[in-house]
Structure 1
Amino acid sequence: MTDTLDFAPLRRIGWPWPGAPEAPAWQAAFAAHPQARPARVVEQHRSGYVVADAPESARKAESLPEWQRPRFPSHERAAVGDWVLMEGARIVALLPRRTSIKRGAAGEHYHQQVIAANIDTVFIVCGLDADFNPRRIERYLMLAGSGGAAPVVVLTKADRTEYGADALAVLEDLSAQDIPLLAINGKDPASVAALAPWLGPGCTAVLVGSSGAGKSTLTNTLLGEDRMKTGEVRGSDSRGRHTTTHRALLPLPGGACLIDTPGMRELKPTGEEALAEAGFADIEALTAQCRFRDCSHQHEPGCAVRTAIERGEIEEARLANYLKLRDEVAVAAARLAQRQAEQADERRSAGRGRRPPGKGGRG
């Protein structure tokens, strides 16, 4: 069926080029639904989805019935950026993801929430005002790095402060690990042009950051029109109202796709994260040099991390955040393992409950 598709409109909304790594798995899905056509999820609402198979061709879509079940894993439902197969107005299959950015969802029971799927770049947006928080940036880096997309830290509102260079210096440990750092004026197209290397034709990027960080302003500048609603931030803490109320994928004039997201208050790990991806590769390397394997990096002799702090090579605040995130990831990983064990038990119980054909009853 793929031989009869016109890929040109699909590529304008991020369709993978021929030879993409996921192609074999995708071809299996196509074979199972030979009459279906691919589309990309461009909006996700509580009431359903909006999909598109070309720029400016959005339409509502009915989700798979099993996605409506209360206990169905939320991360196995379609998210913005996902590719699905459509038969008429109905989604009949979710195609395998290439990359994603996820977080642990709030609540007593373990489950994951996909923020965006099939993305190439995660723009971590932080304002150069009271919103500036290196520890929150590290938390976003942790979530972004675990999903396979490349992170870029974008510091907005550079026109409102004289301390942009100082902020970049504060984050020099990230720069030393080849994590791109940019300070821009989100309202100035010439300044925003610094993002161009990550927004080539067919590329998909997602904007993440707190409310009031300037994501919607940046989106409008990249679109070349004021399509996204923006609002003033509070003077006390530079936090904004939730002017973006849902995730949306938007084709950009240059051929890339941009996913704008609402500000997120909770950034819980899923348990699948690697702290080296969160800008802690240097600390992770040092922990391997400590004298004791179970070193807490507090007062033990022979602690390579404490030695680096005493030399001024690592900040105490970075270490404290590293230890905090490490513990959170460990707790989340334990909950994930427990959930996987419960699911395995449920599958075994369901299997024992089935009777082989022709046995155990009248025939």
Structure 2
Amino acid sequence: MTEAFDDDAALRAIGWPWPGAAEDAAWQALCQAHPQAVPARVIEQHRSGYVVCRGPDDALRPESLPEWQRPRFPAHERPAVGDWVLVEEAKRIVALLPRHTAIKRAAAGEHYHQQVIAANVDVVFIVCGLDADFNPRRIERYLMLVGGGGAEPVVVLTKADQTEYAADALEVLADLAAQRIPLRTVNAKDAESVAQLHAWLGPGRTAVLVGSSGAGKSTLTNTLLGSERMKTGAVRQTDSRGRHTTTHRALIPLPSGACLIDTPGMRELKPTGEEDLAEGGFADIEELATHCRFRDCSHQGDPGCAVQAAIDADELDPGRLANYLKLQEEVATAAAKLAKRVAEQQGKVGRRPRKR
């Protein structure tokens, strides 16, 4: 059974790893533990269940594990689009294979829980329109969520055909480029312009599009596909926001041999507490902080602050520092909630049942 997977071109076409890949050994071990099951990838996630496939041209709707259907089961431990599962008799899912990357956020609401946006992705295209949608602080927030998740971020600025300020936008984001975060300006409707992204879309690779509604994610998907598969809509003139033309996450095979996950626009981008700001677009500020006089420097007027000195010398944008401090506080707050949640769960597991 395992050897058959290694030779299965259909599975390779939707991202199944080559022998020797980091995740290969753990995945193969689970396959051997379920000899009657076959691997499949989650291509759609709905409230009523999942759509999975074993190649670019098939789709199944298997039953999920009973525990996944319980209201209190942790959402981030359920399969997400991009995950690999094992399916028996094309009818039921029997196991979720370990993720090698995951893009997550903290879900809205008072109680702490995580939501997986996409799993097992190689690259994250952070899509932002060069109209009223352009927001460097929001781009930094997306980079924070991607940082540490294991995938490579690429900032894609769409609607380059609708403005003459694309070069100015790149200059505003120069601090990100200095950290070797790729920046690309494209006309999402033009295949030649979008071809700049092909370097990240080789055979067997998986990319996910994230960004606001109206940023051009669905248009970009259609151009990469070479067909009008995804519904698109006009944006409001007042704020360049669009309607949610993409209503659920979906994984789509591309002609290049890669897979692309399109996602609905996200209004809330809350950290989970697991983020690494150094890997999330703020490596320059983190490096400067190592040269501050005091280890616990707040970077807000403390003597000997190297970060403030960089601002005074016009080497650092004050807006970036303000956003960094804001996100740092949010990550710390989320980390405390996560630690409390983990302690509560460990307490429940370790608690002995009462004798009757």
Normalising by structure 2, what TM-score? Answer: 0.98
Which runs of 5 or more residues in structure 1 are unaligned?
Answer: none
Distance in 1, matches of 2:240 and 2:20, equals 45
Q: Give the alignment's Cα RMSD to 1 decimal.
A: 1.2
Q: For residue 278 of structure 1, give the secondary structure of its aligned residue in structure 2.
A: coil
1:58 counterpart = 2:56:
no
**2:278 is the alignment partner of 1:276:** yes
CA–CA separation in structure 2 for the residues paired with 1:235 and 1:61: 43
Distance in 2 (alpha carbons) for counterparts of 1:278 and 1:212: 24
1:24 and 2:25 correspond = yes
Match status 1:189 vs 2:191? yes
Aligned to 1:4: 4
Report the secondary structure of 2:275's partner residue: coil
Q: Offset of 1:60 from its aligned partner?
A: 1.2
Code of the residue aligned with 1:14 in structure 2: it is: G
Say whether the 8 Å CA contact 2:2–2:32 is kept in structure 1.
no
Decide which moves more: 102-111 or 126-135: 102-111
Q: Specify the alignment match of 1:36 in structure 2.
A: 37
**Equivalent position of 1:242 in the other structure:** 244
SS of equivalent to 2:86: strand
1:335 aligned residue: 337
Whether 2:134 is the aligned partner of 1:146: answer no
Residues paired across the two proteins, number: 354
> Shift of residue 294 of structure 1?
1.9
**AA in 2 matched with 1:66:** E
Write the deviation string for residues 276-305 of structure 1: whole angstroms up to 9, x where unpaired. Answer: 122110100111111122211111110101
Q: Show CA shifts across 1:196-221 (max 9, x none).
A: 11000000000000000000000000
Contact 2:188 2:223 in 1 (8 A): yes
> Shift of residue 3 of structure 1?
1.7
Counterpart Cα distance in 1 of 2:256 and 2:310 = 45
What corresponds to 1:68 in structure 2?
A: 69
Segments ≥4 residues shifted beyond 4 Å: none
Name the stretch that deviates more: 19-28 or 280-289: 19-28
CA contact (8 A) 1:101 1:146 kept: no
Q: Deviations over 1:19-59 (max 9, x none)?
A: 11112221221122110000000000111100000102012
Q: Which of 51-60 and 185-194 deviates more?
A: 51-60
**Secondary structure at 1:43's aligned position in 2?**
strand
Residue pair 2:14, 2:253 contacting (<8 A) in 1 also: yes
* 1:274 Cα offset (Å): 0.6
| Aligned positions of 1:57-206 closer than 5 A | 57-88=58-89, 89-206=91-208
Aligned equivalents of 1:253, 1:216: Cα separation in 2: 16
1:303 maps to which residue? 305
- Cα distance 1:25–1:354, how it changes in 2: closer, same or farther (>3 A)? farther
AA matched with 2:140: E
The equivalent of 2:347 in structure 1 is: 345
C-alpha separation in 2, matches of 1:98 and 1:300: 41
The separation in 2 between residues aligned to 1:338 and 1:22, in whole angstroms, is 30
Letter of the 2:23 partner, please give it. Answer: E
Unaligned runs of 5+ residues in structure 2 are none
Distance in 2, matches of 1:61 and 1:217, equals: 31
Shift of 1:257: 0.2
Q: How far is 1:354 from its partner? A: 8.6
Q: Does 1:253 align with 2:255?
A: yes
The 1-side partners of 2:62 and 2:215 are apart by 32
Amino acid at match of 2:73: F
Counterpart code for 1:279 = G
Amino acid at match of 1:212: G
Task: Name the amino acid aligned to 1:99.
Answer: T
CA deviation vs aligned residue, 1:321-356 (integer Å, no higher than 9, x gap): 00000000000000000000001000011xx2299x
Q: Which amino acid aligns with 1:195?
A: L
Find the aligned partners of 1:272 and 1:199 in 2 and give their Cα distance: 27
More displaced stretch, 198-207 vs 3-12: 3-12
TM-score by length of 1: 0.96
User: 243-252 vs 4-13, which deviates more?
Assistant: 4-13
CA separation in 2, counterparts of 1:60 and 1:110?
A: 30
Residues of 2 paired with 1:27 and 1:261: CA distance? 29
Q: CA deviation at 1:146?
A: 2.0
Aligned partner letter, 2:2: T
Give the secondary-structure state (helix, strand or coil) at the position aligned to 2:279: helix
For 1:270 and 1:72, the matched residues in 2 are separated by: 17
